[in-house]
């Protein structure tokens, strides 16, 4: 079986990380696993270069394409030719932009490659009514045309399984940790002091003696940066705590303005985009997520693998990964008071952080291991081909 993961993107985020990780995870399970990476040139040469660089960092087989127009006839023809040249049996799309292309090609008369098309729906992370309507429409088109649908969370799968014609071809496959750490939990904790010192030297605003809570993600509306700042603003009475914000995006100015407006300069430290996210995870004491919508967030899985306790809004597929009171704490979306109470309980209780972090570390390296992830995708591919 030859399998191509297909991306059409101008930047690197959660869906991009999943496609790259899955390409790598499948390498030992199929005859050929390749990433078809379509660069959206309208994002600019720097963004495309960073996208390719991040993808190459996964040490995977990559075939590059370019497009400026999402509905490009040239791209359609290039993909069709590539499927034949590489004898692709399964074309697995991770964006609506190419899901319809792959599905149409696989259903054309006298088409041998690909034999089946698969579409992963990662979420509905839009804030405007126009954006939500558009995304639901194009995702629905991809769902109907493709031979199989992969939903990364139960709510996403339930959305499509409501319709009898889609129920049988919808597969629930939460995301996975692609690179389980070689260190055990004791070694991770033993190295935290040195990691904190190194990070504090790089960012002078950090207080090495404070409890560090990481917030990692794109600076976009769905991540609810305002809620994150509201929670941070009320933590002053809990003790010495700093929120380390790692990420970049169109709301970077909004973040900085919010920090200044609330006088949080000593409590919220904007680190910007961190290429070596490993250094951050090894240094902090917990992770906070404030999103209004999520699929199966990779950041939670990554933090769990480092033994970090989690605090997150109970949205999308988060409850499939974070079990309240077991490996983290959940709170309702948009509820700053509940988020503050959950995070405060962690900040003030090192033993609770250790217990929740240990449970998450075990789950990341067992329940969400990449070998099981790959097996479940192969089973979905075989069903689609059948």
Q: What CA–CA distance (Å, rounded) separates 172 from 150?
A: 6
Residues 128 and 274 in one domain: no
Q: Does residue 189 share a domain with residue 147?
A: no
Q: Token pair of 127, please?
A: 């804030």
Say which CATH number the domain at 28 has: 3.40.50.2000
pLDDT of residue 172: 94
228 and 361 fall within a common domain: yes
CB 119 within 8 A of CB 93: yes
> Do 236 and 361 lie in a common domain?
yes
The pLDDT value given to residue 126: 46
Say if residue 55 is in the same domain as residue 204.
no
Q: Are residues 171 and 43 in the same domain?
A: yes
Instruction: Report the pLDDT value the prediction gives residue 202, as an integer from 0 to 100.
Output: 93
State how many domains the chain has: 2
Can you list the residues of the chain whose pLDDT is less than 70? Answer: 70, 124-139, 180-182
Residues 218 and 167 in one domain: no
Q: Going by DSSP bridges, is the β-strand pair 61-67/90-93 parallel, antiparallel, or unpaired?
A: unpaired
Q: How far is the C-alpha of 378 from the C-alpha of 82, rounded, in Å?
A: 21
Task: Specify the residue for token string 């690909």.
Answer: 114
Question: Domain span at residue 198?
Answer: 185-365
Residue with tokens 């993808």, as numbered in its chain: 55
- pTM of the prediction? 0.81
**Residue 222's pLDDT is what?**
92
Which pLDDT score, from 0 to 100, does residue 132 have? Answer: 55
Name the maximum alpha-carbon separation found in the chain.
Answer: 69
Packing angle of the helix pair 350-365, 336-347 (nearest 10 deg): 100
């Amino acid at each position: 079986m030859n399998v191509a993961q297909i991306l059409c993107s101008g930047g690197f985020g959660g869906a991009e990380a999943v496609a790259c990780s899955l390409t790598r995870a499948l390498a030992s399970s199929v005859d050929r696993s390749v990433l078809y990476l379509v660069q959206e040139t309208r994002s600019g040469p720097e963004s495309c270069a960073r996208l390719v660089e991040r993808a190459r960092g996964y040490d995977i087989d990559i075939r590059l394409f370019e497009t400026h127009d999402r509905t490009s006839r040239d791209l359609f023809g290039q993909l069709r030719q590539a499927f034949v040249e590489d004898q692709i049996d399964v074309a697995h799309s991770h964006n609506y932009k190419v899901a319809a292309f792959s599905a149409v090609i696989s259903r054309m008369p006298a088409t041998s490659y690909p034999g089946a098309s698969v579409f992963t729906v990662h979420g509905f992370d839009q804030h405007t009514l126009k954006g939500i309507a558009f995304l639901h429409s194009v995702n629905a088109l991809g769902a109907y045309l493709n031979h199989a649908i992969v939903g990364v969370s139960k709510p996403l799968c339930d959305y499509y399984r409501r319709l009898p014609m889609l129920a049988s071809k919808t597969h629930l496959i939460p995301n996975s940790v692609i690179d389980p750490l070689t260190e055990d939990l004791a070694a991770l904790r033993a190295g935290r002091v040195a990691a904190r010192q190194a990070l504090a030297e790089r960012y002078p605003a950090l207080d090495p003696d404070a409890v560090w809570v990481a917030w990692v993600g794109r600076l976009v509306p769905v991540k609810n940066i305002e809620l994150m700042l509201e929670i941070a603003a009320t933590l002053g009475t809990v003790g010495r705590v700093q929120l380390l914000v790692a990420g970049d995006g169109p709301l970077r100015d909004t973040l900085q303005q919010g920090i200044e407006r609330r006088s949080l300069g000593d409590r919220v430290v904007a680190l910007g985009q961190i290429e070596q996210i490993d250094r951050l995870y090894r240094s902090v004491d917990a992770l906070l997520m404030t999103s209004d919508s999520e699929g199966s967030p990779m950041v939670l899985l990554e933090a769990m693998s480092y033994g970090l306790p989690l605090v997150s809004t109970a949205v999308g597929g988060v409850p499939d990964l974070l079990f309240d009171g077991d490996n983290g704490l959940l709170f309702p979306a948009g509820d700053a008071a509940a988020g503050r109470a959950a995070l405060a309980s962690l900040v003030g209780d090192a033993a609770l952080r250790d217990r929740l972090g240990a449970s998450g570390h075990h789950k990341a390296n067992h329940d969400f291991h990449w070998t099981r992830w790959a097996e479940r995708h192969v089973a979905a591919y075989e069903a689609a081909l059948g």
